[in-house]
Amino acid sequence: MSHTWDPDRYLAYADERGRPFVDLLARVPAEAPKVVVDLGCGPGNLTSLLADRWRGAQVTGIDSSPEMIAAAAQIDGIRWEVADLRDWATPDPLALRAPVDVLVSNATLQWLPEHLDLLPGLIDRVAPGGWFAFQVPGNFDEPSHTTRTELAAREPYAEHTRGARVPTSHGPDDYARLLLDLGCEVDAWETTYLHVLSGPDPVFDWVSGTGARPTLQALPDDLRPLFEEEFRALLREAYPADSSGRVILPFRRIFVVARKPLAQPVSA
């Protein structure tokens, strides 16, 4: 079941969503890469940080959402492309594509249930000695996700939401083992951020721009307001505001930075 993304809604919490990208990038010690790619670049606000850091590099932002790429295209100096990550990760036996020195993917892989199987293909796109860095949410057992799943499984919603995309991820050890088996040097860790939110139903505002969006879009217009009303109430109960109206949203994220081994010397 397809859905669309709203760049403006996504950017409502740009600072909070951007901090993990900055933390990820800080652990990539590449000095002068020539080719840098951001897979799942969204509206491009974070991709621009790649261009700022590596000014001599050719930087490309790739996203499957035409809406996101249309927003990103307003940023100059970066190449933007609408493409599916799964196609981009396909084998290239004839080496027709330029190898990538730094490959970054921030909060994207969780939308592909098979993304663990895609990692070898992504590593193949990285140049020997190059870097692959990604971050995925690891909070799918939190009420911000479980309440949506439970509510969507009830009638009268279930018949409409059954095919909606649901994000998922693995543990940092799963990613580390796979990449180590591919011969990479691996740095993997997790961090739980405590986001302090305010305003009416701020957790709903957060999730409706990301994880809950496919479910909300799957509902017909006459049912969506009822679902949203119930969902808001469940989230208010799970994340109560304090006396000052502040809500704390814990958000666990998983980070991986892998360096591809240098090419083996050719025997004489």
Query: For residue 213, how far is the Cα from the chain centroid?
Result: 14
What letter represents residue 129's amino acid?
A: G
What is the per-residue pLDDT across 205-244, written as a single tens digit (0 to 9) for each?
999 888 788 999 999 999 999 999 999 999 999 999 999 9
What is the per-residue pLDDT across 50-93, written as a single tens digit (0 to 9) for each?
999 999 999 999 999 999 899 999 999 999 999 999 988 876 65
Q: Over the chain, what is the mean pLDDT?
A: 90
Per-residue model confidence (pLDDT) at position 92: 66
What is the per-residue pLDDT across 87-134, written as a single tens digit (0 to 9) for each?
888 766 555 577 999 999 999 999 999 999 999 999 999 999 999 999
Burial per residue of 196-235, b for 16 or more beta-carbon CB atoms within 10 angstroms, e otherwise: ebeeebbbbbbbbbbbbbbbbbbbeeeebeebbeebbebb
Residue that the structure tokens 């909300």 belong to: 216
Q: What percent of the chain lies above the pLDDT cut of 90?
A: 80
Domains and CATH numbers, the chain: 1-137 (3.40.50.150)
